[in-house]
Chains A and B, each alone.
Chain A
């Protein structure tokens, strides 16, 4: 008996060790997958933001060139991108004349707002209702009036209030996140409470874009702002910008929900956004901004500017030729020749006066290129990409003189200071350099932070702008806190959200949470799988939209056309084409199959994807471009389609497409475009239903993702 017991104990211990080892290894694998998934999301997001840089430079390019092609006066594009302030929207009649039908069951707001109005809004939005356009306009009108009275930098004091809560809803703000934070909710355990004297709030920007409920979120925020102007504070974020909204979905959401009054609503939003304060300071010690700072940030200067003039970070101030007095150019040249930077490619760009960027400053948007100096690869992703400084070549006597850009006038400096605040990111390395990922703002190091805090007697910088897995992150020796309040930003389970509370002792306290769609607690395994599935789907879409380039890269290693390359070659090709910093070898099993001899069957990478509907007759290259820039093209078409009919004329289609491909440097001949245009003019009436056209270029996943998750596997290779 005794022997048996002893044997059992020994065996049990061995068994336990085995199970423990196995389980720990399993958890480590899971943790690694979680990190890789995170990597994928972040790389694609940054790559996406570089694309947006592309779009903004294209808009400028279009503005400079479209008018000339058309020959008409101020065209519809410039009207939307650079609208003249419509005085009508400043008057109460802008909304008073809009009738609200009896059949409307949503909230009817009465101004000045009371708690019953904000409660009604909360309730209505939970029930998926839409606020009537009249009330949206009225809300915006009143918000605009209030914001006009506010300074650029808000100063708060903890002596008059309880602890202040600081959040950043960020893009993709789920309505549920806002509701969780603000109100009593059955969805989550954490309830911070509605804004009030007891619970003052600072919301640190990015109220709109990417989710489907941006209007609801921002309406609630503005409503609380009107209700409690002393306890509710909003900072501007980089998405409070009408051009960003064009790209990231807010414009589309507004147009879809408000077909009749969408444009007026967007116009008012644009005004309101540019009137949002830029920063908040608590007790003169804690600075809160959306993005960050630069080595040029000057809070005193920022307090003095007209912040509403910086409508969009993407429309850098136009500098006209009037600034340059050509007659005196050579004198100036002699004085400043030590500072001039010449770009030989730019010597032919004398007409792009509106696009010169600031020289030698640490942040500026890339100036748009003219067709003559395009490179085949349009997306700048390496820090070595130079900022093209457009130096004017002017004829003087018998030679050409180079005129360096003049010293930045006042409004350029204003623009740069604001953009730095809204777009910068902290980095571990010292110094300040252009933020090439975002295309605007800076990377600022711990020395920059130290200097600024010292200069203004501050002790802490709280900012947002970047998603963090735990909802918050400290850096620069604790002098900078990044706070991110949208949980599940990329996907269910991708990250937690967090907010900060700060009291009189000025020590921040962090509150983390995660909203879960299901009431049952998801295991880490399930969450990782779900997030991984979504990340891989996004990654595969990227592969598909770069198919021709990837194939030509791969074929360089496969001269005999066997369809296979080694793992190293496969990883090399993907790395160099996509330029996403991802662990390709580890991801391979999800993306490609192996041939029997262990090499990679690279065609299998593209098996899972297909276009939405049968493609019109286009070349592979044109198709890839259309897939890749589908969203951008859609935005442009939407702008052109003034009456929201879903149709544009063939002429407009041709013009737009020619410009776009010229700007991208994609070599697509006119005939291909004409054929394309004619083939999609189904009714032969000279108009194109672009929605239907674009449907063909939406990437569709063949396998139902849900099925894959149920089986516990992911698609791809083994």
Chain B
């Protein structure tokens, strides 16, 4: 996030532009409203790693009472605050690696699909079946279906930063 080296005054308008751009991608009717179900994607894509609980809190703050819609004029200030305070910092790679190693009890260096599925769909902030399928398709090795997590972490986190 080297862009932050710019002077403090110019940060906020830039943040606003970033937030608006992300918001616009889901504003299908061009009326400055997005469906509440897309908010998670928007916030994640702006570089944050909120938990589901965090997301619920933000939604409660910005949702337009029971309409299922989130207006831009409420989202913008809330999200700007989140970004300025670095509220939901990214997960460092080594922590992620440790997490996988915890699950890999036998220290095999990989996880079998059933193992991973069990953890992801029965613990923590449960994955849906769809999410699980996509994860396995994306991460599992094509021949033996194992998830070699060490390689994956570096591969999948290389991403041009916002």
Contact assessment for B44 and A567 in the assembled complex, using a CB-CB cutoff below 8 Å:
no
B45 touches A26 (CB 8 A): no
In the complex the two chains form, is A19's CB within 8 Å of B25's CB? no
Cβ-based interface call for A454 (8 A): no
A17-B5 Cα distance, complex, nearest whole Å: 32
Is A18's beta carbon under 8 Å from chain B? yes
B84 close to chain A: CB less than 8 A: no
| Residue pair A585, B18 in contact (C-beta under 8 Å) | yes
Q: Are A12 and B45 also in contact (CB < 8 A) when A568-B10, A712-B158, A714-B160 are?
A: no
Question: What CA separation (Å) do A18 and B98 show in the bound complex?
Answer: 10
B contact residues around A36 at 8 Å (CB): 25
The segment out of A311-319, A415-423, A586-594 that lies at the interface is A586-594
Q: Choose among A8, A29, A39 the residue that contacts B159 (Cβ–Cβ < 8 A).
A: A29
Given contacts A15-B103, A25-B49, contact A597 B5 (CB under 8 A): yes
B100 at the interface (CB under 8 A from A): yes
Contact residue among A24, A39, A521, A568 (Cβ-Cβ distance under 8 Å from B25): A39
State which residues 4-44 of B face A: CB under 8 Å: 4-6, 10, 13-14, 17-18, 21-22, 24-26, 29-30, 40-44
The answer, yes or no, to whether A428 is at the interface (CB within 8 Å) is yes
The contact string, 1 if C-beta is below 8 Å from chain B, for chain A 20-59, is 1111111111011001100100000000000000000000
Residues of A within 8 A of B159 (CB): 29
Instruction: List the B side residues contacting A523 at CB < 8 Å.
Output: 134, 137-138
Q: Assuming A567-B3, A585-B14, A712-B158, is B138 touching A22 (CB within 8 A)?
A: no
Q: Are B17 and A24 in contact (CB under 8 A)?
A: no
B73 CB–A CB distance under 8 Å: no
Find the B residue at minimum CB distance from A596.
B2
For residue A21, which residues in chain B have a CB less than 8 angstroms away from its CB? 49-51, 91, 125
Residue in chain A with minimal CB distance to B159: A29
Question: Does A17 lie within 8 Å of B156, measured CB to CB?
Answer: no
Q: Check A17 against B135 for contact (C-beta < 8 Å).
A: no
The reply to whether B18 and A14 form a contact with Cβ atoms under 8 Å apart is no
Q: CB distance A24 to B40 under 8 Å? A: yes
A354 to B14, CA, bound (A): 50
A718 CB–B CB distance under 8 Å: yes
Residue of A nearest to B142 (CB): A520
Residues of B within 8 A of A16 (CB): 99, 103, 119-120, 123-125
- Is A406 in contact with chain B by the CB < 8 A criterion? no
A566-594 CB contacts (< 8 Å) to partner B: 566-568, 571, 583, 585-586, 589-590, 594
**B5 / chain A contacts, CB cutoff of 8 Å:** 597-598
Which A residue sits closest to B1, measured CB to CB?
A: A598
Task: State A716–B48 Cα separation when bound (angstroms).
Answer: 24
Establish whether residues A19 and B96, one from each chain, have CB atoms under 8 Å apart when the complex forms: yes
For residue A597, which residues in chain B have a CB less than 8 angstroms away from its CB? 5
> Could you say which of B2, B103, B131 contacts A594, with CB atoms under 8 Å apart?
B2
Among A219-270, those with CB < 8 Å from B are none
Q: Are B137 and A521 neighbours in the complex by a CB distance under 8 Å? A: yes
- Judge if A129 is at the interface, Cβ distance under 8 Å: no
| B44 in contact with A12 (CB, 8 Å) | no
B155 within 8 A of partner (CB):
yes
A24 touches B102 (CB 8 A): no
The answer on a CB contact under 8 Å between B124 and A20 is yes
Contact of A524 among B45, B96, B105, B138 (CB under 8 A): B138
Q: Given A13-B123, A583-B21, does the pair A25, B44 have CB atoms closer than 8 Å?
A: yes
Cα A13 to Cα B162 with chains together (Å): 30
B85 at the interface (CB under 8 A from A): no
CB-CB contacts of A613-630 with B at 8 A, as 1s and 0s? 000000000000000000
Residue A705 at the B interface, CB < 8 A? Answer: no
- For residue A79, CB closer than 8 A to chain B, the reply is no
Assembled-state Cα–Cα distance A712/B120 (Å): 26
**A34 nearest CB neighbor, chain B only:** B25
Q: Within 8 Å CB of A525, what residues of B?
A: 138, 156
User: Does B127 interact with chain A (Cβ within 8 Å)?
Assistant: yes
- Chain A interface helix/strand/loop/mixed: helix
- Give every chain B residue within 8 A of A567 (Cβ-Cβ): 3, 6, 14
CB distance from A505 to the nearest CB of B (A): 29
The interface centre, meaning the residue of A31, A36, A717 with most chain B CB atoms within 10 A of its CB, is A31
Chain A, interface size category, equals 35 or more
Residue B57 at the chain A interface, CB threshold 8 Å: no
- CB pair B96–A31 under 8 Å, yes or no, is no
Contact partner of A15 (CB less than 8 A), chosen from B44, B99, B127, is B99
A22 CA / B119 CA spacing, docked (Å) = 14
- Select which of A24, A26, A571 is within 8 A of B156 by beta carbon: A26
**Contact A32-B22, Cβ < 8 Å, known A17-B125, A21-B125:** yes
Q: Tell whether A713 is near chain B: CB-to-CB under 8 Å.
A: yes
Residues of chain B within 8 A (CB-CB) of A598 are 2-6
Task: Tell me which of A17, A27, A29, A32 contacts B134 (CB under 8 A).
Answer: A27
Q: Which residue of B lies closest to A473 (CB)?
A: B28
Does B40 lie within 8 Å of A28, measured CB to CB?
yes
A12 to B120, CA, bound (A): 10
CB pair A586 B6 closer than 8 Å:
no
Instruction: Compute how far the CA of A524 lies from the CA of B156 in the bound complex, rounded to whole angstroms.
Output: 13
CB neighbours (8 Å) of A32 from chain B are 22, 25, 41, 45
Instruction: Annotate B40-74 by CB proximity to A: 1 below 8 A, 0 otherwise.
Output: 11111100111100000000000000000000000
A25 to B96, CA, bound (A): 13
**What is the CB-to-nearest-CB distance from B92 to chain A, in angstroms, rounded to a whole number?**
10
Assuming the A-B contacts A523-B138, A714-B160, are A20 and B10 also in contact, with contact meaning beta carbons closer than 8 angstroms in the complex? no
| Closest CB in chain B relative to A542 CB, distance in Å | 19
Chain B residue, CB-CB nearest to A28: B44
- Report which of A8, A11, A18, A586 forms a contact with B18, defined as CB distance below 8 A: A586
User: Would A18 and B95 be within 8 Å (CB), given that A28-B44, A568-B13, A589-B160 are in contact?
Assistant: yes
Residues of A contacting B155 with CB < 8 Å? 712
**Closest chain B residue, CB of each to CB of A429:** B30
A590 to B160, CA, bound (A): 8
Set of chain B residues within 8 Å of A15, measured between Cβ atoms: 98-100, 102-103, 119
Q: Is the CB of B17 within 8 A of A571?
A: yes
Shortest distance in angstroms between A350's beta carbon and chain B's nearest beta carbon?
42
With a cutoff of 8 Å between Cβ atoms, the chain A residues found around residue B6 in the complex are: 566-567, 598-599
Are A29 and B95 in contact, with the CB atoms below 8 A?
no
Which residues of chain A come closer than 8 Å to B157, judged between CB atoms? 26
A61-B155 Cα distance, complex, nearest whole Å: 55
Question: In the complex, how many angstroms separate the beta carbon of B133 from the nearest chain A beta carbon?
Answer: 11
State which residues 104-141 of B face A: CB under 8 Å. 105, 119-120, 123-127, 131, 134-135, 137-138
Among B13, B103, B160, find the residue whose CB has the most chain A CB atoms closer than 10 A.
B160
For the complex with contacts A14-B102, A20-B124, A586-B162, 10 further pairs of A-B residues with Cβ separation under 8 Å are: A8-B102, A21-B49, A22-B49, A28-B40, A29-B44, A523-B138, A524-B137, A566-B10, A599-B6, A714-B160
User: Can you name 22 A-B residue pairings with CB atoms under 8 Å?
Assistant: A13-B123, A14-B102, A15-B100, A15-B119, A16-B119, A16-B120, A19-B103, A20-B120, A20-B124, A21-B50, A25-B49, A28-B44, A32-B45, A35-B25, A521-B137, A524-B137, A566-B6, A567-B14, A583-B24, A585-B17, A585-B21, A598-B3
Q: Which 7 A-B pairs have the closest CB atoms?
A: A28-B44, A589-B160, A16-B124, A583-B21, A598-B5, A15-B99, A17-B124
- Residues of B at under 8 Å CB distance from A? 2-6, 10, 13-14, 17-18, 21-22, 24-26, 29-30, 40-45, 48-51, 90-91, 95-96, 98-100, 102-103, 105, 119-120, 123-127, 131, 134-135, 137-138, 142, 155-162
